[in-house]
Structure formats: structure tokens, C-alpha cells
Structure 1
Amino acid sequence: MSPTAPPLAGKLAGLRSSAIRDLLELAERPDVLSLAGGLPDAALMPRERIAAATESALTDARSLQYTGSPGWGPLREVLAARESVKLGRTVPTAEVFVTHGSQQALALLAEVLLDPGALVVVEDPAYVGALQVFRAAGARIAAIPLDDDGMRLDLLAELLARGERPALVHTVSTFHNPGGVTMSAARRAELAELAAAHGFWVIEDDPYGELWFDGPPPAPVAAHGANVIRLSSASKILAPALRVGWMVAPVRVARAVELLKQGADLCGSALTQQVAAELLADELWLAGHVDRVRDAYGQRAKALVGAVREEFGARLRCTDAAGGMFVWGEFTDGTDTAALLPVAVEAGVAFVPGAAFAVEAGYRSALRMCFTTSDAASLTEAVARLGRAAQSTQP
């Protein structure tokens, strides 16, 4: 008799691998210029400065020891000072919680704030990592479309007027992934007001806020209300490998997250948190470093957008990249980007089809393009290859 295989948890039935992660393997071919990834440029990461900070941290044996579940104390103090400036109020250290990247914060918050069947509101198109977390939590998901000013709060207000009561609303308010837009100042204040009036949480996911090109974005949603939990990360301005993310949340939420984190991984890395603390506290050096990253990304964004508009004209509308890492485009002639992708890869260019970011269905004629890891000449060539691929699929 053959053995009966033990079952896996039922919640896995509704989960699927990220199409973006799967696509990255395809895009790693050396002959492919990839617009698909969502990675910062490793060449711009401060390796020498990280090495020096690591050497400094290792002079103390405690850097190799366990640290507190909420994070290394001096790092939390540095983060509290930085967040106080952003939010325009004094952020106590007790409200700052360090996680293994901001994605872990999102996953832990889903466990703290959501019961199975709870309603979660997300933006559409949506950040794929958030969809994976909320689906794993067994949440009902309602999608609110974006426009040039971010989430359509008029549609959120209609949902609330119908009697729906979300447990939380998730927003990538600044330089949206994948939509490329930024929520206006007025909508940020309105979203915080709706949260206070109707008793739901807002999770403001802000990994890209410091990567602005022409001017800083509006004050965070978290500056406007107490029901907003703010997430951010050092991955996009320092290095993803540090795995330093954080949240700013009311103390009762932070303490609940701490209980769950103790069961997940006890604590983060004392070593990388000390490295991050040194770099984030060195304000003069950090300002110069981030300026260099902004300048490089800004030039690349303009090169990509300019090439798309010259190559495609009115056939492909794309967002203006005012910051962040992504440009969102939509074909106006009904081109199916999922069908276009294999043709494009054979032509030597990869992108992410828009359907990968749809909550249910849609965005069949859309695509997301990342500009951070290629120089201007490579981006221009990538768009030329995309143009040839798109031309070959026309009847």
C-alpha cells in the first residue's frame, strides 16, 4: 500500500506564485534587456560605506548576538527622528518597529488586523506583494481604481455609503508600484479623515518616497490621522540585502506585531540593523548619496518615457515618471501585452504584462516598465526592440 501524503493548509489553494518573480528568471538571459525587474541598481549601492559600517559594528561582539524583537534600540531612535520630520510630529521610539524588510511588516500586520473574511481595500492595479499577503490571510479584497491623483476616493466613499466596512485600506501613496502615480495632498488628508470617520486602518506602504526627481511628494497620509500605519524601508536607498524595513504604528499595534514576530523569527539581524543605523544617522553623507541615486534614476526615467513616446506616439500612453522606479503604459489599440511578451523576449526585451497586477481581471493592454537598472542608451534600445516586437504582432 502506498503511503497517503499528509495535506497542506487549505489557504494555499488560493495562492499563486508572483508572475513577476517567475518572469525574472526568463529575463535573466544575457541577450534580453529587461524592463521587468523591480530592483534598485546595485552599482549605486554604497558598498564601501556599508563595508566600513560593518567593520565598525563588528568591533563590538554584541553585533553578532540576538537583539530585541522590535529592533535594535539605536536604530529605532534614528528612525523615530527621521519619521518625526516626515510626519510633522514627535514620533516616540515605542511606535517604531523594525522588520525584515517592509514586506514582513505587511505580513505581520495582516495577521494582527485581519480575521478570515475581513474586507481589505486595495488600489487597482495593485502591488502584487500586498495581494499575496491579503489572499493568504483569507481576506475579501475590493479594488479601487487609480487616476492621476492616486486612489479614487469618490469610489471608496461610495463603497462605504453602501454599508461596506473595510478592516483596512492599503495604499502605495507615493510613486505607485505599478501605476507610477502619486496621491495628491488633498486625497491624503481625505483618506485619513475617512479612516477616522468609519473606523478602519490605512496601511501606507512607502518604499519609494525619497526617490523623487523634480521635487518631494506631499506629506505622508500618516501625517493626517491616527488610524494610519506607515511602512518604509532602507532597500531602495541603501541596499535590499540589509533587510531593514520598519513601521510606525500606535503602540498597541506595535506590541501585537511583536508577539507575532517572536513566533516567526524572534528578531532581526543586529549586525545589519547597526549598519543601517550608522548610515541613516549620517545625514550629510546620506543626503549626498540619495541625491546621486535620484539624479541617475531621474535621467533614466526621462530616457525611457521619451523613447516610448517617440517610438509609439499615441499608440502607447505612459505615465510621467516623477520619482520611484516604474512607468505604467497602456496600449490604445487593444494590444494584448501577455501575448506580446514572448514575442518581445525573442526580440530581446522583457516587461511585466499589466494583467499581473489586476485584482480580478483586466489591464490586458497594459504593461509595467522599470528604468532603474539600465542606462539611457540601453533603455532606448529596449524600447526600440519593444517597438519591433509590437509591430510584428499587428495584423
Structure 2
Amino acid sequence: MATQYSISGTTAKGIAASVEAAVAGGDLGPGDALPPVRRLAEELRVSPGTVATAYKELRRRGVVVTRGRGGTVVAAAPAVASRRPPKVPAGLRDLAGGHPDAAFLPDPPALVAPPSGPRSHRSTPRLPRLEERVRAWFDADGVPCESVTFAHGALDCVARLLTTELRPGDAVAMEDPGYHHLLDLLQAMGLRTIAVGVDDEGMRPDLLRDALRAGARAVVCSPRAQNPYGGCFSPARRDELVEVLRQAPDVLVIENDHAAEIAGAELNSLTTGGLARWAQVRTVTKYLGTDLRWAAAACDPVTLARHDGRLLLTSGWVSHLLQAAVLTLMDDPSAQLLVARAEVAYERRRTALVKELAERGIVAHGASGMNVWVPVRDESAVVNGLRTRGWWVAAGARFRMAAAPGVRVTVAGLGTSRAAGLASDFADTLGESEATYGG
């Protein structure tokens, strides 16, 4: 019955709105099947074409997906229902959230005021001193800095860049495993993802070439601190990827250098390869403050114009108060000292865990950044096994498209003295599941 699915309406728009409301309200959850087109049409006394149009609109907006003979089902992360990580059970050490260690975050500055005097925020959207500081920031790593702009965080910037270039149904080459919020964002935008496998040096050139041949119109990748795998571009890998991308000059390449100051690895950026369409996005949330929803981007002139044109039509500019706060922390010696200490600490913690796991015969990946990726056969068995031992790690399912299973461990808050304990518990967990793991 249509009422069973909380679906009503006599027009395509009304039916789509009813399904969307049911998803947003929790009456329909991820994976729940919608009625076949003809059956719902009979129940609602509308034409099959009306229902088909409604389903098409829901697919375009990322609310549902169609699985061939499997029918139409609610998407794993529908655009109208925020997919949030599960709450950390009481008493467990949280290694799943991807958060920085609060001990290395500087205190937020007291309320700051932007330069006084009459001015037009829309005509001067960026504080000149911060813009100058940002140019120097990119330039220090060799990233071309003639064209820079600001946004309300990295995801906001990536979304705006993609919406100015692509249309629903277009394909984007994405890291696999990759950052789950980016994967969810693309689905919500109605874009298709083409999985590009990664290793310790980042995106694999052969698989990127396959993705471009399959029609990818944009590429989103991380040059270092790749989340969740931890890979970082070597000079050779950067050159290989640039060579592949030069064969597709119309493709927009977006580098997400989200952990620039704490990655623990040098930058080997695709932006130095003379690409026609490119942008590198940086933010400060991982090392200056998780509530500083600000990002900077260096890009080619065409990309800059399109991004800023869309920004002008929406929010207009990034808050000058926020810009002033970011500038204050960027120029604060004590804050910068904390950032430097964080980079060293995260590298030691990451290296310690990978070493302790290796000594117990467990392969792990974490060449840079705050996360370690551990391949496993059964994610649920590992997550639940570690939970019984007091650890909370992230199942890899939300990061993966076609990649093999694994779990992500955020090491930011894991002191080196605790690495051996976690590794031992990890080994014990795998031992208990040896039948599942083929032991």
C-alpha cells in the first residue's frame, strides 16, 4: 500500500516531495525500497509516467538510487537526511572521529574587528592583509598564487567549484577509499563518482587514466594526508599523474590540501604541472580551530572568476570578522608553535601505531596526516571486537566505493605509549575472528 511507504500526491512534484519528507523524517531509511512505478501509480491513481518522473527527480537530487532489477531504493546517504557517524559509546577511547588533539589547538582570539571605515564587502570581499598572507602561504609550497579566493570551509569551496563546472549526471573521479563527506556531497549534488584506487603515494595513475576515459569531467584528490588511507604524492607520482591529466585539458582538477600544516609530508602538488584547469583548497580547521569554517583556494583565472561569480550571487563574501580571526591566529607566534608541535606529535603517533601493528603481522597504511588505514576482512567484527576492549574505530564502509574493506584509526589523540596496547588488542581481535579472516 502507498500509505505503508508514507507516499502520497497526484503530481510528480507532489509524489517526490512526499518521498523526500518520508526520508527526512525517518519513515524511509537508507536501502528501503520504493514501490514499483506501476504499482504506486495504481495506488495513487495517477499515470505511470507521473511516478516515473517523480522517481527521476528524486534520483537527480540524490535521494534515491535505482539498482536495475533491485528496483528503486533510498540512497545510502540521501541528500535530505544527514548521515552522521554513530555516537561514541560511553567509556570508549574515540579513535574514529577524525578530530585533532584539542591540546594542540590554540585558544580562539578575543573578539576581533575588521578594518574600520566605510567599505563595500562585495567589492572587497577579502581582507587585503589576509589575502597577502594566503599568497605567501601557497607560494612557500610552490603553488601558483596569482589567483586566490576564500570560501566557507573546504567542502563549501569544492561544492561551489563543481557546481560552476558540472551538471547533475556528470562524473567526478574520486579517491577510493576517500573522504566520506565528499562522497556524500557528490551524491547530494546528483553527480556520479568514478572510483580511483589509492596507495601510499595517493591516486594510482593507471586508474585515473581509466576514469578519464570513462568520462570524468573533474578530479578531486588529496596531495598529502589523504583521508582515510594517509597517502601522499611523491615527486614521481605527481609527475605521472600530471602526464595523465595533460591528456584531458578540459578536466577540472581540485586538490584538497586540508591538513597542509600538520600533514608530516612535503607537498608535491599537481598545480605545478602547468594544468589548464585547477584549484588547490586549504583550510585551517584541523590545526587552528574546528569552528573556523574558512578556506582559501589558489586556482587558474577562469576557475577563480566562476567561483567568485557564484559566491557573489549567494553569500557574497566570507565574514570579515572570521577572516580577521584567521589572520590573527596565522600571525600569532604561540599559535604557530602549537601547530608545529602538532605536526611532530601526529607523525610520531602515526608511525608508532604502524610500527606496533607491523610487529604483530598486521599491515597498515599511514604515510602522512592523522589517520591510519588497516585492511581487514570483516569490518564489523573488528569494530565490535575493539569496542569490547575499550577502543572505538571507524568502519571503512562509509569511505569506500570499490575498495577492499578496512578500518580507519585516527591517531591524533593516541599517545605513542598507547600504540602497543591498541596493536595488541587489534591482534587479539583478529585472532578471535580467524575463521572469518581465513586464518
| Distance in 1 of aligned mates of 2:180 and 2:207 | 21
Give the corresponding residue for 1:260.
310
Shift, 1:346, TM fit = 3.1
Do structure 1's residue 292 and structure 2's residue 351 form an aligned pair?
Answer: no
218, 221, 224: which one pairs with 1:174? 224
- Alignment correspondent of 2:160: 108
Preserved CA contact (<8 Å) 1:180 1:326: yes
Measured after TM superposition, the shift of residue 358 of structure 1 is 1.4
> Is residue 36 from structure 1 mapped to residue 96 from structure 2 by the alignment?
yes
Match in the other structure for 1:23: 85
Q: Is the 8 A contact 1:75 1:273 kept in 2?
A: yes
Q: What does residue 219 of structure 1 align with?
A: 268
Which residue matches 1:307? 356
1:209 maps to 260
**1:119 aligned to 168, 171, 180, which one?**
171
Give structure 2 stretches of 5+ with no counterpart: 1-5, 21-56, 65-74
CA distance in 2, matches of 1:198, 1:231: 21
Conserved? CA contact 1:110–1:133, under 8 Å: no
CA distance in 2, matches of 1:193, 1:117: 27
- RMSD of Structure 2 on Structure 1 (CA): 3.0
Which letter does structure 1 place at the counterpart of 2:385? V
Q: Within 5 Å, which residues of 2 pair with 1:55-94? A: 55=111, 57-58=112-113, 70-87=125-142, 89=144, 91-92=145-146
State the alpha-carbon separation in 2 of the partners of residues 379 and 301 from structure 1: 9
Code of the residue aligned with 1:83 in structure 2: it is: F
Mapped partners of 1:103, 1:70: distance in 2? 19
Q: Secondary structure at the match of 1:356?
A: helix
- Could you say which residue in structure 1 is the equivalent of 2:364? 318
Q: Deviations over 1:186-233 (max 9, x none)?
A: 2223323433332211111111232244xx424321122242210111
**Quick one: percent identity of the two aligned structures?**
25
Report deviation, 1:351. 1.2
User: How far apart are residue 69 of structure 1 and its match?
Assistant: 8.0
**Aligned counterparts of 1:266 and 1:104: Cα–Cα separation in 2:** 13
Is residue 171–residue 217 contact of structure 2 (8 Å, CA) maintained in 1?
Answer: yes
Q: Which residue of 2 is the match for residue 148 of structure 1?
A: 200
Distance 1:305 1:117, change over 3 A: same
Residue identity opposite 2:369 in structure 1: G
Quick one: distance in 1 between partners of 2:94 and 2:427?
14
CA contact (8 A) 1:125 1:146 kept: yes
Q: How does 1:121-140 map to 2 (within 5 A)?
A: 121-140=173-192
Q: Does 1:371 align with 2:411?
A: yes
| Alpha-carbon displacement from aligned partner over 1:237-263 (angstroms, at most 9, x marks no partner) | 211211111111123322222233345
SS where residue 74 of structure 1 aligns? helix
Deviation of residue 24 (structure 1)?
Answer: 4.5
The 8 Å contact of residues 255 and 279 in structure 2, kept in 1 or not, is answered as yes
Please, which runs of 5 or more residues in structure 1 have no aligned partner?
none
Write out per-residue CA displacement over residues 307-360 of structure 1, whole angstroms, 9 at most, x where no aligned residue.
Answer: 3234xx22x2102x44311111113xxx3012332333233211112222112x
Cα 1:139/1:58, change in 2 over 3 Å: closer
Q: TM-score, normalised by structure 2?
A: 0.75
Residue aligning to 1:337: 379
SS in structure 1 of the partner of residue 85 of structure 2:
helix
What's the offset of the Cα at 1:234?
Answer: 0.9
Paired with 2:139 and 2:211, the residues of 1 have a C-alpha distance of 33
Structure 1 residues 175 and 286, CA gap change in structure 2 (3 angstroms): same
Question: What is the DSSP-based 3-state SS (H/G/I as helix, E as strand, rest coil) of the residue aligned with 1:241?
Answer: coil
Q: Residue 279 of structure 1 corresponds to which residue in structure 2?
A: 329
Q: Distance in 1 between matches of 2:183 and 2:278?
A: 19
SS at match of 1:181: coil
2:290 to 240, 244, 251: 240
Give per-residue Cα distances to partners, 1:125-164, cap 9 Å, x unaligned: 122122122222222221121223221112333454xx43
**One-letter amino acid of the structure 1 residue matched with residue 163 of structure 2:** E
Residue-pair matches, total: 369
User: Counterpart of 1:38 in 2: which secondary structure?
Assistant: coil
1:157 aligns with 2:209: yes
Higher helix share: 1
SS at match of 1:231: strand
Deviation at 1:370, TM superposition (A): 0.6
User: What is the aligned partner in structure 2 of residue 393 from structure 1?
Assistant: 433
Give the 3-state SS of the residue equivalent to 2:140 in structure 1: helix
Q: Supply the distance in 1 between the matched residues of 2:122 and 2:150 (Cα, whole angstroms).
A: 11
User: Is the Cα–Cα contact under 8 Å of residues 349 and 386 in structure 1 kept in the other structure?
Assistant: no
8 Å CA contact 1:69–1:268 kept in 2: the answer is no
**1:323 counterpart SS class:** coil
Matches of 1:159 and 1:83, distance apart in 2: 29
TM-score by length of 1: 0.83
- Classify 1:384/1:20 alpha carbon distance in 2 versus 1 (closer, same or farther; 3 Å): farther
> Contact 2:233 / 2:268 at 8 angstroms: preserved in 1?
no
Distance in 1 of aligned mates of 2:353 and 2:427: 13
